[in-house]
Amino acid sequence: MKKNLTIKVLLVMFAFFALCLSGCESITINELRSEHGIIVEGGSFEEGSILVSQEIDIKSTDAESILDTLSNKVYNRDGMIRIFDIYVSYNNKKVQPNGKVKVTIPVPDTDIENYVVFHIKDSGEVNEISPSISRNNLIIEVDSFSYFVIAEKENSHSHKYDSVVTEPTCTEEGFTTHTCKCGDSYVDNYTKELGHTYNEGIITLEPTHFYEGVKTYTCLNCQATKEETLDKLSDHEFHGWYPSWEYDSKHMRECKCGVVEYEDCIYDEGVVTKEPSHVEEGIKTYTCTVCGRTKEEKIEKNDSHAYGEWIPSNEADKHERSCSCNEKEIESCSYDEGVVTKEPSHIEEGIKTYTCTVCGRTKEEKIEKNDSHAYGEWIPS
């Protein structure tokens, strides 16, 4: 009985220790993701592990050193090349996977159809891997982490072209340019140039009898211009009329080509510019209405004296006027009714002044004194 109890106690203790051991077993992770979208599946990494992916600048000395290890490998050295340092960090230490892991890397360039991945291990060994592609992702399997070089296989590039149409212009043909991202390009689909479409043109230099003219046409599409020469005019291009120096009573005009044309002057009805008298002839002046030339015509003397203005004569109450021939004419003055220029009083006589209405001569007549006193203003006595 005592022996059976001992056996039962031992079984309970063994179950307890087994339970403790199972509870203390660590938690593992089988999928990690990096900031570049890289995914690692498998590897049984400790909880808290971090997937790190650092891209190496292709122009850096580190990249140059890494690529030196691929000197005997075949790949497109002029194509796309990207270098990643991929590893898992746990407690700030790099750790390797437990067995093989699947690494998924986003495709760097979807225009590339065939990739090759070089896994450069820490030992310096280089493994060449042909990745599978699924949904724009490269998928590889590895058993350790280090540097990974993603490149194009040599002669594996399949061109994918973007097309740009260049429309034809008035003077240049149109075409389509096809360009691949790799730099390859070609041109096709040539179309004939359109040619100019000109407007009706405007005369920019009027033709004359002496010079040719110019008519300018402008393209409605590109504003290019062309010129057309206009023939000289057959009609003479005369200047204005002016008096001829060769012929009296004619005027002339001259063309630039040297041709001279004459016409008779056309005079107006004339204007008397000097009146005639019985001493001198008069003058009538005529003016050409076209060129302004003038001519004069004499007006005969007449029989009438050309008397001047009436002036008082030396004879009393008479006035006289003289002709340029010294002939005189004398007449009696014709006085007006007179004006009292000084009033008479009972002390003094008055004066009445008469003026000739023809020559302006004056004469005075006394006015008798009167009997009325001429009192001043009243003042205090």
pLDDT in tens, 199-211: 999 999 998 887 8
Q: Is the pTM of this model over 0.75?
A: no
Q: By mean pLDDT, which of 66-75, 96-105, 115-124, 301-310 is the weakest?
A: 301-310
- Token pair 């002496």 is at which residue? 210
**Quick one: DSSP state of residue 157?**
-
CB–CB of 212/204 below 8 Å?
Answer: no
Q: What is the pLDDT of residue 318?
A: 93
Which pLDDT score is estimated for 19? Answer: 46
- Give the rounded percent of residues in the chain with a pLDDT score beyond 70: 90
With a cut of 60, say whether residue 4 has pLDDT above it: no
pLDDT, averaged across the chain: 87
Higher pLDDT, 26 or 292: 292
Question: What is the predicted pLDDT for the residue at 153?
Answer: 84
Q: Can you spell out the DSSP letters for 263-284? A: EE--B-S-EEEE---SSS-EEE
Residue 182 one-letter amino acid: C
181 pLDDT higher than 60? yes
Asked if residues 346 and 370 have their Cβ atoms less than 8 Å apart, the reply is yes
Sheet arrangement for strand 185-191: 161-166, 174-180, 185-191
Say which amino acid occupies 214. V
What CA dihedral angle connects 201, 204, 206 and 207, to 10 degrees? -70
For Cα atoms 258, 259, 260, give the angle at the middle one, nearest 5 degrees: 110
| pLDDT at residue 270, as a whole number | 93
Q: Residue 235 pLDDT more than 80? A: yes
DSSP conformational letter for 219:
B
Structure tokens belonging to residue 5: 């109890």
| Secondary structure (3-state) at 142 | strand
pLDDT, average across residues 59-70: 92
Tell me the pLDDT tens digit for each residue of 102-145: 999 987 665 566 889 999 998 889 999 989 888 788 899 999 99
Which pLDDT value is given to residue 5?
A: 53
Residue 135 DSSP code? S
Mean pLDDT (whole number) for 232-256 = 88
> What does the pLDDT read at residue 28?
80
Whether pLDDT at 20 is above 50 = no
Separation CA 67–CA 151 (nearest Å): 11
Mean local confidence (pLDDT), 239-250: 91
Q: Specify which residues 339 forms β-bridges with.
A: 353
Candidates 304, 351, 353; CA nearest to 324 is 304
pLDDT reported for residue 57:
93
- Cα angle 100, 106, 108 (rounded to 5 degrees) comes to 125
Closest to 219 measured CA to CA, from 194, 236, 253, 239: 194
Which range has the worst mean pLDDT, 87-96, 174-183, 335-344, 350-359?
174-183
With CA atoms as reference, report the closest residue to 145 among 294, 34, 291: 34
Residue 149 has pLDDT above 70, yes or no: yes
